[in-house]
Chains A and B, each alone.
Chain A
Amino acid sequence: MKFAVLINEGPYTHQASDSAYHFTKACLDKGHDVFRVFFYNDGVNNGTRLTVPPQDDRNLQKNWTELAEKHDLDMVVCIAAAQRRGILDENEARRQGKDADNIAPGFRISGLGQLVEAGIAADRLVVFGD
């Protein structure tokens, strides 16, 4: 079955990203297809590579990046939500005249249409938030 996942909260403050990660991993372990993981609202903050959590804590960004690499997962960060919160890839940083980018490997920045498309294409869409 084809799943899509929406994450509305950033890492660490809320458990949403952790729950979504374990859920997505369980989907893939069971042999399901995950069409897309979409990061919206503060969820875009999962996609910065500049977080430095304590060594004895989980590294959520790294977990997501590794999951994406292993399963060729499509992880999309909403561009409008990302611009509000300072999540930029190289293109966006240049376009907005910013001096740095911070997008983590495995994440890509794209439009909200990618969320609607995931809702259309997937058999099930599951939302994680606050």
Chain B
Amino acid sequence: MPTLHTVNKSPFERTAFGSCLKHLAAGDAVLVLEDGVVGLRKATAFAGDLDAVSGDHKLYALGPDLDARGLKPDDLVSGVTVVDYGGFVDLVAEHDRTQAWL
């Protein structure tokens, strides 16, 4: 019964992203949007936290929010799938529930 977790805040400003990663159950995925996308950049102080979960959990980023913040897919830690708003809808539909980390 996997969950789609959404994170919209930078891990450098709020604890939501880090807390989310500590509460993932088997099969859960994380969709990162809004300011959360700055946490997906590679070689940051947060990248290790992502590496620790990315083997077991799918990570998604909302493309329009990457674009808006000048981030390119190549700038991100490995294993991140970029989706648009339609892809966001598909992910919500594919998972049993959505949990927003506000």
Direct contact of A and B (CB under 8 A): yes
Q: Which B7-21 residues have a C-beta within 8 angstroms of A?
A: 8-9
Decide if B53 is an interface residue (CB 8 Å cutoff): no
Contact residue among B9, B35, B89, B102 (Cβ-Cβ distance under 8 Å from A23): B89
Decide if A29 is an interface residue (CB 8 Å cutoff): yes
Considering the chains assembled together, what is the distance between the CA atoms of A14 and B26 in angstroms?
32
The number of chain A residues with a CB under 8 A from chain B is 21
B86 touches A29 (CB 8 A): yes
A8 touches B102 (CB 8 A): yes
- Contacts from A to B (Cβ < 8 Å): 1, 3, 8, 15-16, 19, 22-23, 25-27, 29-30, 32, 124-130
A-B contact pairs, 11 of them (CB 8 A): A15-B34, A25-B85, A26-B89, A27-B89, A30-B89, A124-B97, A124-B98, A126-B100, A127-B100, A129-B8, A130-B102
